[in-house]
Amino acid sequence: MAAITPVQLTVDRHALTVLGRVFDAARPAEGCALLLGTTGRCWHLQQVWPCLNVWPQPAQRPRRFCLDPREQLLAQRWARQRGLVVLGAGHSHPSSAPVPSAVDRALTLAPALLVIAGLNSGATPGWSWGCWWLPESEPGDPPAMPQRLPWTMDA
């Protein structure tokens, strides 16, 4: 993954649509995908690489996810051939808010971009989105707290 700390994320509208559909298809389990794009001061999410949730205990997949390392390698190769990088990972929280959980923080190798979708209930169905930057911690320190990352959508 890229290591430059972003100050903002710009998201391609089509990529966000694809990400939402990946998460819809995975329900009731957590859906997951790799996020591909470009870096700089402002990162740009341009492509979504859908992944299967391969968490080893299928009964826990509604609250946990795991990416297949082979998918990560394939996505990196594909992205590199197109001048893109793997920015981070996206996953859904089908029954909670789009905020990194303690498990998300513990299992994510920092520094990392996380895009999380929480399923809305009630009158407004669909996903609510949260973008987070998980900074690297100093050796021996506890994991750093995620920082909310502002984001905008491309027209």
Q: Residue 30 and residue 101: Cα distance in Å, rounded?
A: 13
Residue 101 lies in a domain: yes
Residue 1 lies in a domain: no
Residue 130 lies in a domain: yes
Higher pLDDT, 143 or 150: 150
Residue 64 lies in a domain: yes
133, 103, 97: which is closest to 115 by C-alpha?
133
9, 11, 12, 35: which is closest to 22 by C-alpha?
35
Residue 147 lies in a domain: yes
pLDDT at residue number 155: 65
What is the domain count for the chain? 1
Q: What is the mean pLDDT of the chain?
A: 92
- What pTM did the predictor assign? 0.92
Parent domain of 81:
8-153
pLDDT tens-digit map of 28-86: 999 999 999 999 989 999 999 999 999 999 999 999 999 999 999 999 999 999 999 99
Q: How far is CA 60 from the centre of its chain?
A: 19
pLDDT tens-digit map of 31-43: 999 999 999 989 9
Read off the CATH number of the domain in which 106 is found.
3.40.140.10
Tokens of 64: 């946990």
pLDDT tens-digit map of 109-135: 888 999 999 988 766 678 999 999 999
Residue 3 lies in a domain: no
